[in-house]
Amino acid sequence: MAIIFVIIVFILGYLGIAFEHPLRLNKAASALITGVLCWTIYVLQSAAPDLASEELVDHLGEISSILFFLMGAMTIVELIDSHGGFKILTSKITTTSKSKLLLIITFLTFFLSALLDNLTTAIVMTSLCSKLLRGKEERLWFAGIVIIAANAGGAWSPLGDVTTTMLWIGGQISALNIMKVLILPSLAVCTIPATIMALRFRRQTFSRVQQDNAGTPEEKRDGKIILYLGVSLLIFVPVFKTITNLPPFMGMLLSLGLIWVVVAFLHKKKPAEVVRQYSVAHALQRIDTQSILFFLGILLAITALQSIGILNSLAQFLTGTLKNNYLVGTALGLLSAIVDNVPLVAASQGMFHLSDFPTDHPFWEFLALTTGTGGSAIIIGSAAGVAVMGIEHVDFMWYLKKISWLALVGFAAGIGVYLLQLSFLN
């Protein structure tokens, strides 16, 4: 009976998340309520409530490592943005050809997303496109390729997508291997749609919107310092984990502490209002804490399903029905366009154990690819898509008609390249 109640609460919570906008209720609230209620039901029905509570504390340690990692990364990215570091990258774009601009935006988004994260990169690149392009229709097309490229770029990097980060922190994948194995399939995911879209804009030009390049030499110098330092410290995180074998969030916290010292040193002689504007404390206020609380709630709910045994049953059902690990991965990837990919990957980590699928097993690599890129098929299927939808006011049905098929073509191409690569290597 308790299992039925937990499933009902979980489904209702998911509906609350899915219908966030009609309900006018932030998905973080639905996720937090769902997570707490699932654990409450599990503990109350347990024959040993004390042991169930200890399970919660154990799970909370794993969840906290993900949340601290995200908070550190988001704060460093916010510091780069507040210092104008991203303008250094965007100021290099000088072309007036729409096709060339589309390809530049695609590849810049792809690689920037791998270094930072797909959500932040999508926001930055969509804002860039809105500054370069005047027409609403052309900005929508560019917004579509930004979503596809940001999700593809995030899939092959342990820093680029929350789901890949979760698999890395959980020990399912290693940083260097996932980058080596998934870079070509991920590149195919965005290259094929970008090529098709570039053909649509061939021989078309655009007049550039005047960009604001205001800033004193000192401010530009500070922006370069924080940009280069921030990116270097983010790259340093997987290196730190490899050397020390400490969890990734430790390297991220160390990076945050180091950039905190540099920021304090850069602005120590400036007026108080300037120090406040560029401070780490101000950056912490600007990071997306609602998303962090959403991850907390949904991960709590998933761990409750894992502890009560629902995920093991689901794993047996999927493997018994589909009878192929790659079909399971593909199904989960397509499902991530409807259901958030974070709980799907969290559920997979609970369903499939390292004893059956050890670190860097092809199943985990394939899962990182499909769940990282499948969300592009629907605009609300990924955090990057939701962010771009808010910035450019992209209509749900317009995206479904114009962009979704391109995203699915890329998704299929990525799967094909991965399987060919796996066959060739074997």
Q: List, for residues 248-294, the tens digit of each pLDDT value.
A: 889 989 999 999 999 999 888 888 888 888 888 889 888 878 878 88
Secondary structure class of 192 (helix, strand, coil): helix
Secondary structure class of 378 (helix, strand, coil): coil
pLDDT score of 150 more than 60: yes
Say how far apart CA 175 and CA 163 lie, in whole Å: 13
pLDDT attached to residue 110: 94
Which residues, 6+ apart, have CB-to-CB distance to 174 below 8 Å? 168, 359, 360
pLDDT class of 38 with cuts at 50, 70, 90: very high
Secondary structure class of 205 (helix, strand, coil): strand
pLDDT attached to residue 248: 83
Q: Which residue has the tokens 């074998």?
A: 245
Is 266 within 8 Å of 223 (Cβ atoms)? no
Average pLDDT score, the chain? 86
pLDDT class of 209 with cuts at 50, 70, 90: low
CB-based burial of residue 419 (10 Å sphere; 0-12 exposed, 13-18 middle, 19+ buried)?
A: middle
Say how far apart CA 3 and CA 313 lie, in whole Å: 11
Secondary structure class of 54 (helix, strand, coil): helix
User: pLDDT per residue over 44-97, tens digit each?
Assistant: 988 888 898 888 998 898 889 888 888 888 888 889 888 888 777 767 777 888
pLDDT attached to residue 307: 84
Q: What sections of 269-403 are H helices per DSSP?
A: 272-278, 280-286, 289-308, 310-322, 325-335, 341-351, 362-373, 383-392, 396-402
CB atoms within 10 A of CB 355: 6
**Where are the chain's structural domains?**
2-425
Helices H / strands E in the chain, number of each: 22, 0
pLDDT attached to residue 214: 56
DSSP state of 97: B
- Looking at the chain, the whole-number percentage of residues with pLDDT higher than 90 is 30
Segment 16-20 shows an average pLDDT of 77
